Amino acid sequence: MKILVCISNVPDTTSKINFTDGDTKFDANGVQFVINPNDEFGLTRAMWFKEKQGATVHVATVGETTVEPTMRKALAIGADEAIRVNSVPTDGYFVAQQLAEVVKNGGYDLVIAGRESIDYNGGMVPGILATLLGMNFVNTCTNLEVDGTNATAIREIDGGKEKIATTLPLVIAGQKGLVEESDLRIPNMRGIMMARKKALNVIEPIEATKATEDTKFEKPAPKGAVRLIDAENIDELIELLHNEAKVI
């Protein structure tokens, strides 16, 4: 089985986010980037297939040279090869078109992507990718088993979970539950040294449609000041909740 894991290079959640040029561009200065958490769950599951079933695991992303440390980390975790499409990931449709070309040229049986990235939270790439490729698709996937060309998946739905039987080739949009956080892997020194010898292939993007464009960013409003009420003063608390906060 040949697996492609789609990786997004996203800001660490502890990073302080700023914008430049009149809030029209994201300021990457001083920001620490990491593998998108939903993608890391998928990569870890792919490593399980590699170790248990002898699968070959490649990782791919759309980005410029700044994303290469993240790809090297994926190689250090255990991926066999990395592919970087040399372009700025402007929107989900553009990214999906680039990744579809990688899948077509690579002959992959299983494509694992995160449900969404934690930067723009678009949640559109996996579904568009499956549509472009004409592959079966399972969204919000929390478990995946593969036996030959048959696959069994569990996905979250409103109010519960759904078990699905399907076949390869397959695209899934994974999330926590595909593996648990305790299963995630930290590259060891041997993995880091081996990653330096693994292929990181750079390919040029195909001509593709850019369906959307970011015009302006806006930070959430700052939190208001906290007012402390004496624990014994229940009347004042009720009065403030009723007349000022207007929640009762």
**DSSP result, 53-109:** H--EEEEEEEE-GGGHHHHHHHHHHT-SEEEEEES---SHHHHHHHHHHHHHHHT-S
Written as six digits, the tokens of 25 are 């561009």
Q: Determine the 3-state secondary structure of 170 from DSSP.
A: strand
Q: Give the pLDDT band of residue 183 (cuts 50, 70, 90).
A: very high
Q: Give the pLDDT band of residue 120 (cuts 50, 70, 90).
A: confident
pLDDT of residue 70: 96
- pLDDT tens track for 206-238: 999 888 888 999 988 888 888 888 988 889 989
Q: Where are the beta strands (DSSP E) in the chain?
A: 2-6, 9-11, 18-20, 25-27, 33-35, 56-63, 81-86, 110-114, 136-147, 150-157, 160-167, 170-174, 200-203
Q: Determine the 3-state secondary structure of 193 from DSSP.
A: helix
The closest of 180, 178, 169 to 144, measured between CA atoms, is 178
Q: In whole angstroms, what is the distance from residue 2 CA to residue 59 CA?
A: 11
Written as six digits, the tokens of 126 are 């996996």
The closest of 87, 78, 81 to 9, measured between CA atoms, is 87
pLDDT of residue 222: 85
- Architecture of the domain whose range is 2-216: 3-Layer(aba) Sandwich (3.40)
The number of CA neighbours under 13 Å toward the Cβ of 92 is: 17
Q: Are 73 and 47 in contact (CB under 8 A)?
A: no
**pTM above the 0.85 mark?**
yes
pLDDT of residue 214: 87
Q: At what angle do helices 68-77 and 37-53 cross, to 10 degrees?
A: 30
Q: In whole angstroms, what is the distance from residue 110 CA to residue 4 CA?
A: 6
- pLDDT tens track for 22-68: 999 999 888 999 999 999 999 999 999 999 999 999 999 999 999 99
Peptide bond into 220 cis (omega under 30): no
Residue 125's φ and ψ, nearest 5 degrees, are -60, -50
Q: What is the mean pLDDT of residues 87-96?
A: 94
